[in-house]
């Protein structure tokens, strides 16, 4: 059956040169179909003598299989080539911008407040709040700032028409009235921080008629000035993310604390820029002190049994120092460009333990 | 408070250098605000000796000087009338900078004569406005030596901030005392002369108050000095005053300034010949007027203390003297006054008259009530030394107020409150150097605060004295220990919700703003108005005159400002207070937001869309969903307050009484009134109205999850309904047709017009059926569909579209 080799090479050639699926199908029909060449040869086997038939049958089966395999292989080949061509045609410009999406930002005041809450929260403080509109007694008198005392001049107070107990009500000049409200309503031990809006009658490059403070108050039987130092040094270092940040306490005066201390952090002024944690200069960031016994007594707390400390700082100021925001007044302008630039991603939630620092 | 280092050293014997003194000033609570090295101003200049002075050949008013500067002799052209051969002055060579002229010198030809430098006036150096002539320095000044030495400007001037409680440190002697306590040096004892009066004062003093005002001036000390000559002060005194920025005026005035700065003892000197009759310290008469030394006339009221003669007020007590009885160079006889005036009354007087002075500053912070006589003696001696004359006996009216206050300091109190151990010896020593009388008794110390320390009012103050002088640095750092091993939540649920809503809104593309709690009154009116009770009495401007009834107006204004900058597709929100009244309960925390421009801006994929009510409805719903609890299931009602578009606004609420949120298009009339381009859509979410769960852990466990095994089926329907039927009505009608099978109904199409009547619309809805027991057969699905059609017809009148 020497002509089988010729048939095989003829079919193989045709398969290889088949241009598409249709041509290949024609070849299959002409070779393996009911009337195909190989099928015809298979049919011819019946007339052979049994001895020849066995050998010829085996050869034909091999050929049939080979041709079928070659057709399948060519079919795959042609299909792959088709896909590649299609994909090549489907190419798009991936440098085109994505569909517009909008992501808002968190205001630096909120972010800084959350950062400070996360720090003090780790130290066991809880957040307390109170109203913006206050009675004179809570804002001044209870805090040991008596009527007509010159110290009141330091607080350029906004007054409103409403009166309580014969005194005009005020927009709180600090968040300290919340300390009073807390001490009146809660028994020691007390450990609170008070973030919130505060108001002073002042408007220039470094003063805004409204700004934010965060204050803290600790009252128990044993907390002393060493704790005050420990607490605030830890806070400063955690907030600015500097383990070695120099922190200095120096005596000062506030009517509601005795002794009183102002807290400075180490920095370098120079070349018009401020570098925190470097150099020989000091920058004041906090007021603090041991709660004045008069304040405790004003709140009905026995000052012979309880003591503790209080502190306060400006939230905007902390944000300005940490994030290099140059101008206080811009915080309240609601300029979208500013908010985008100095704002924070919404999922950037401050945590001392959840992230790699604040 | 400014003082020079050498002036301080007149009272403090110390070998410490400037830096150490500065360090300790700050660390005892006298914060150093600056150190002025005045020598710097003149460091390029030297003492020059004028060897010759000859007329300029070509200019009448100029001279040509030969000046020896220590290294060479130079030709200098000079126009000063006092320039003459033999004098010594301050020479500036070529290349040096002259601050008063703002030039750097170089060789110049002045009318043909070369000039190689300048002899300087005070104005040219920047010391004063004096420009009549060049500075003359002492004959023994070494030629070529630094100008700073010759001018007495080597003495650094220190500026410190004095806290309001430390009235005693408004005098240099008080500062020296604090430093001495901190071991920086030794306080030199006060040298108080006893000037013997040689005659009785011809002017008497009478304190004349009723009982209500008797504290206004408890004591007045005076002395008549006759035959003085009020000329210029000697150089040492002028230098001292100039160094701290005080202009020398005349010896008598300079002496009072000296006493104020050195000992915090404000004094007044009257020209005794101008006093009519005797001196009376009394309350001013209502409307009484006085021309003060600052040249202004002040009208007084009955609560102000004045020092008067028999006719008129001649001084505002503790604040400023009167012009009429002020001293001049012709003054011959003077009345010296040292008094104690009530701090609060002095402060009030100054405040009411808007009159500040060095005297008022000290009286209102409290001067030493026991230093009246000694202060008078020191001042008398100075007057006699500098002006000559003869002093009368001292006259006094009233009596020294009782300042002796006793406080007990317990043995362990410094350590208990301060956290640092200070030895008993050191504790007592500190207090004694500060002037306390201290007696050690069992269990502690009995102390009497010094007369100048009215700020000390209790044991805590004594602790502070010991701690600050011992140094805050010595207090060990003790970590705060928590009561529990793990931190508990720092914020409560309401605070947490605010924080979640804030971050939720930001992820939805809104940018957080913080705006003022006050706004212009007319804007408040647009948003329901604020009661008059929360109008500011003293607003900074009319733009910030009343507490805001809503956050929206501030945000609308902000949107307008951003639009003016070309930023139009913006979304802003704020979470903060709004005010309905002055009581704490009237302050509500609200999350308010606004969107403007395109929700989807122009882009290559198309799909451009303006913001609309459904964007802000989605914001409000997302916020309520974030809050969780019942708020997530709020009902929707058509309409919102008047500042919203009446037809394009809604309210989310649990019941009609407490709205959780309003949303909608802002009323065009509001935008017009605020001059902001619309449309704007916005929302207000009343966070305080969202109910809190009853207990902390309520609702944390989730209900069991029942996942259906069988395939869900969706069927679409189109109903023709009357236009007044709401989407919610239709959805409710469809949903309730088979509560068991129907799990969701959504609207996919709204159509009006075409063949429909004007008051009709077609609404396409998709109903989702979720079988729980077996896959639904066609017959079962058809049965549910029939129920939906029937229920919609029954509840809304809707007819299935054919």
Give a three-class secondary structure readout of B695-757: CCCCCCCCCCCCCCCCCCEEEEEEEEEECCCCHHHHHHHHHCCCCCCEEEEEEEEEECCCCCC
Judged by CB atoms closer than 8 Å, whether chains meet at B512 and A343 is answered as: yes
Q: Tell me the pTM.
A: 0.86
- The string of pLDDT tens digits covering residues A84-140 is 889 999 999 999 999 998 899 999 999 999 999 999 999 999 999 999 999 999 999
Q: Which chain A residue shows the shortest CA-CA distance from B483?
A: A124
Query: Residues B771-791, buried b or exposed e (16+ Cβ, 10 A)?
Result: beeeebeeeeeeebbebbbeb
Q: State residue A155's pLDDT score.
A: 54
State the smallest CA–CA distance between residue B525 and chain A in angstroms.
17
The CB density around residue B94, as the number of other CB atoms within 10 Å, is: 14
For residue A169, the cross-strand partners are none
Residue B570's closest CA among A107, A343, A340?
Answer: A340
Q: Which CATH number fits domain B205-398: 3.50.40.10, 3.30.300.30, 3.40.1160.10, 3.40.50.300?
A: 3.50.40.10
Q: State residue B313's pLDDT score.
A: 94
Residue A313 has pLDDT above 60, yes or no: yes
Distance CA B682, CA B644 (A): 9
Residue A18 has pLDDT above 60, yes or no: yes
Q: State residue A37's pLDDT score.
A: 86
Dig out the tokens for A254 from the structure.
Answer: 């506030």
Residue A242 has pLDDT above 80, yes or no: yes
- Which stretches in chain B have pLDDT values below 70? 695-699
Distances (CA, A) of B157 to B40, B122, B240: 12, 19, 10
Q: State residue A173's pLDDT score.
A: 94
Judged by CB atoms closer than 8 Å, whether chains meet at A261 and B472 is answered as: yes
Asked whether the domain spanning B406-470 has the same topology as the one spanning B205-398, the reply is: no
Q: State residue B697's pLDDT score.
A: 64
Going from N- to C-terminal start, the domains of chain B cover 2-37+156-186, 40-150, 205-398, 406-470, 493-689, 713-800
Going from N- to C-terminal start, the domains of chain A cover 3-89, 108-340
User: Best of B487, B496, B604 to disrupt the A interface by mutation (most A CBs within 10 Å)?
Assistant: B487
User: Residue A43: CB partners within 8 Å, gap ≥ 6?
Assistant: none
Of B29, B537, B555, which has the smallest distance from its Cβ to A159's Cβ?
Answer: B537
Residue A1 has pLDDT above 80, yes or no: no
CATH code of the region A108-340? 3.30.930.10
Q: How far apart are the first and last CA of chain A?
A: 87
Q: State residue B128's pLDDT score.
A: 73
Beta carbons of A198 and A172 less than 8 angstroms apart: yes
User: Best of A258, A288, A325, A351 to disrupt the B interface by mutation (most B CBs within 10 Å)?
Assistant: A258
For residue B222, the cross-strand partners are B337, B395
User: Best of B457, B490, B543 to disrupt the A interface by mutation (most A CBs within 10 Å)?
Assistant: B490
For residue B78, the cross-strand partners are B63
- Residues 189 to 218 of A: which have CB under 8 A from any B CB? 189, 193, 197, 199, 201-203, 209-210, 218
State the smallest CA–CA distance between residue A231 and chain B in angstroms.
6
Dig out the tokens for B387 from the structure.
Answer: 């002006």
Q: What ipTM was reported for this prediction?
A: 0.87
Asked whether the bond before A257 is cis by omega within 30 degrees of 0, the reply is: no
CATH code of the region B406-470? 3.30.56.10
Q: State residue B696's pLDDT score.
A: 63
Q: Class of the B493-689 domain?
A: alpha beta
The CB density around residue B370, as the number of other CB atoms within 10 Å, is: 17
CATH code of the region B713-800? 3.30.70.380
Chain B residues within an 8 Å CB radius of A294: 458
Chain A residues within an 8 Å CB radius of B351: 153
Q: State residue B137's pLDDT score.
A: 86
Q: State residue B511's pLDDT score.
A: 98
Q: Class of the B40-150 domain?
A: mainly beta
Phi, psi of A259 (to 5 degrees): -70, 160
The architecture (CATH level 2) of B2-37+156-186 comes to 2-Layer Sandwich (3.30)
């Amino acid at each position: 059956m020497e002509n089988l080799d010729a048939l095989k090479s003829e079919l193989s050639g045709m398969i290889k040169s088949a241009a598409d699926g249709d041509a290949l199908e024609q070849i299959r029909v002409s070779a393996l179909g009911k009337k195909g060449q190989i099928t015809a040869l298979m049919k011819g086997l019946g007339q052979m003598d049994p001895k020849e038939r066995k050998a010829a049958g085996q050869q034909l089966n091999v050929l049939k299989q080979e041709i079928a395999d070659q057709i399948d292989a060519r079919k795959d080949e042609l299909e792959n080539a088709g896909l590649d061509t299609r994909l090549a045609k489907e190419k798009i410009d991936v440098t085109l911008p994505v569909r517009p999406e909008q992501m808002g930002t968190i205001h630096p005041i909120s972010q800084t407040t959350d950062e400070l809450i996360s720090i003090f929260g780790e130290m066991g403080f809880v957040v307390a709040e109170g109203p913006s509109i206050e009675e004179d007694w809570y804002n001044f008198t209870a805090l040991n700032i008596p009527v007509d005392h010159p110290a009141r001049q330091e607080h350029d107070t906004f007054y409103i028409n409403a009166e309580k107990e014969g005194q005009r009500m005020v927009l709180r000049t600090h968040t300290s009235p919340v300390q009073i409200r807390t001490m009146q309503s809660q028994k020691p031990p007390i450990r609170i921080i008070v973030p919130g809006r505060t108001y002073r009658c002042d408007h220039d490059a470094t003063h805004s008629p409204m700004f934010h403070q965060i204050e803290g108050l600790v009252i128990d039987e044993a907390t002393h000035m060493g704790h005050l130092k420990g607490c605030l040094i830890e806070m400063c270092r955690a907030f600015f993310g500097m383990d070695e940040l120099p922190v200095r306490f120096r005596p000062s005066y506030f009517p509601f604390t005795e002794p009183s201390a102002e807290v400075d952090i180490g920095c370098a002024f120079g070349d018009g820029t401020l570098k925190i944690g470097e150099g020989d200069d000091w920058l004041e960031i906090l007021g603090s002190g041991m709660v004045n016994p008069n304040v405790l007594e004003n709140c009905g707390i026995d000052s012979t049994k309880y003591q503790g400390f209080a502190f306060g700082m400006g939230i905007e100021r902390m944000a300005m120092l940490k994030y290099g925001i140059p101008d206080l007044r811009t915080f309240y302008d609601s300029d979208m460009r500013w908010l985008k630039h100095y704002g924070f991603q919404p999922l950037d939630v401050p945590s001392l333990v959840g992230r790699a620092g604040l | 408070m400014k003082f020079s280092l050498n002036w301080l050293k007149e009272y403090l014997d110390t070998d410490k250098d400037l830096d150490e003194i500065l360090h300790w000033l700050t660390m005892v609570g006298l914060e150093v605000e600056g150190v002025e090295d005045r020598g710097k101003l003149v460091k390029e200049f030297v003492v020059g000796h004028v060897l010759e002075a000859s007329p300029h050949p070509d200019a009448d008013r100029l001279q040509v000087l030969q000046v020896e500067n220590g290294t060479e002799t130079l030709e200098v052209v000079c126009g000063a009338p006092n320039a003459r051969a033999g004098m010594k002055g301050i020479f500036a060579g070529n290349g040096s900078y002259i601050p008063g002229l703002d030039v750097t010198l170089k060789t110049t030809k002045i009318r043909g004569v070369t000039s190689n430098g300048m002899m300087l006036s005070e104005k040219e150096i920047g010391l004063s406005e004096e420009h009549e002539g060049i500075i003359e320095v002492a004959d023994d000044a070494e030629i070529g030596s630094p100008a700073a030495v010759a001018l007495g400007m080597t003495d650094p001037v220190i500026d410190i901030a004095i806290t309001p409680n430390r009235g005693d440190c408004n005098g240099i002697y008080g500062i020296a005392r604090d430093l001495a306590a901190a071991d920086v040096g030794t306080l030199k004892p006060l040298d108080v002369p006893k000037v013997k009066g040689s005659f009785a004062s011809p002017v008497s003093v009478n304190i004349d108050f009723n009982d209500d005002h008797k504290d206004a001036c408890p004591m007045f000390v005076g002395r008549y000095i006759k035959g003085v000559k009020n000329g210029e002060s000697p150089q040492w005194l002028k230098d001292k005053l100039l160094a701290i920025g005080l202009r020398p005026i005349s010896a008598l005035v300079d002496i009072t300034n000296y006493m104020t700065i050195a000992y915090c003892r404000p004094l007044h000197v009257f020209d005794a010949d101008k006093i009519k009759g005797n001196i009376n310290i009394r309350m001013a008469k209502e409307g009484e007027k006085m021309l003060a030394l600052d040249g202004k006339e002040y009208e007084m009221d009955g609560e102000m203390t004045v020092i008067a003669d028999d006719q008129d007020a001649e001084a505002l007590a503790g604040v400023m003297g009167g012009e009429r009885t002020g001293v001049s160079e012709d003054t011959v006889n003077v009345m010296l006054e040292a008094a104690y005036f009530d701090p609060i009354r002095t402060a009030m007087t100054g405040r009411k008259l808007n009159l500040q002075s060095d005297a008022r500053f000290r009286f209102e912070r409290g001067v030493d009530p026991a230093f009246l006589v000694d202060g008078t003696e020191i001042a008398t001696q100075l007057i006699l030394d500098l002006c000559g004359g003869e002093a009368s006996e001292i006259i006094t009216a009233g009596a020294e107020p009782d300042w002796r206050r006793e406080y007990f300091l317990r043995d362990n109190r410094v350590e208990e409150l301060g956290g640092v151990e200070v030895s008993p010896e050191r504790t007592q020593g500190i207090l004694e150097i500060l002037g306390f009388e201290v007696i050690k008794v069992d269990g502690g110390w009995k102390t009497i605060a010094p007369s100048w320390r009215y700020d000390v009012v209790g044991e805590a103050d004594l602790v502070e004295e010991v701690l600050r002088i011992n140094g805050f640095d010595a207090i060990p750092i003790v970590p705060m220990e928590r009561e529990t091993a793990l931190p508990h939540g720092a914020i409560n649920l309401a605070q947490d919700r605010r924080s979640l809503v804030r971050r939720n809104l930001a992820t939805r593309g809104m940018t957080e703003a913080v705006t003022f709690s006050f706004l212009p009154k007319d804007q408040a009116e647009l948003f329901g108005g604020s009661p008059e009770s929360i109008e500011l009495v003293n607003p900074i401007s009319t733009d910030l005159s009343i507490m805001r009834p809503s956050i929206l107006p501030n945000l609308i204004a902000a949107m307008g400002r951003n639009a003016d900058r070309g930023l139009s597709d913006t979304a802003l929100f704020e979470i903060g207070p709004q005010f309905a009244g002055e009581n704490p309960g009237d302050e509500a925390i609200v999350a308010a937001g606004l969107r403007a421009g395109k929700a989807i801006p122009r882009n290559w994929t198309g799909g451009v869309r303006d913001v609309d009510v459904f964007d802000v409805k989605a914001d409000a719903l997302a916020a309520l969903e974030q809050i969780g609890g019942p708020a997530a299931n709020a009902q929707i009602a058509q309409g919102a307050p008047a500042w919203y578009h009446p037809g394009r606004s809604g309210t989310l609420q649990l019941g009609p009484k407490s709205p959780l949120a309003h949303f909608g298009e802002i009323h065009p009339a509001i935008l017009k009134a605020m001059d902001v381009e619309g449309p704007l859509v916005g929302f207000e979410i009343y966070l305080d109205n969202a109910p809190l769960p009853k207990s902390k852990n309520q609702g944390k466990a989730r209900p069991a999850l029942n996942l259906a095994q069988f395939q869900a089926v969706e069927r679409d329907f189109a109903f023709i309904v009357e236009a007044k039927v709401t989407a919610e009505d239709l959805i409710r009608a469809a949903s309730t047709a088979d509560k068991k099978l129907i799990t969701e109904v959504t609207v996919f199409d709204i159509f009006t017009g075409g063949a429909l009547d004007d008051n009709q619309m077609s609404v396409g809805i998709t109903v989702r059926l979720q079988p729980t027991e077996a896959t639904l057969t066609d017959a079962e699905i058809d049965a549910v569909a029939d129920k939906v059609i029937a229920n919609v017809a029954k509840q809304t009148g809707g007819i299935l579209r054919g």
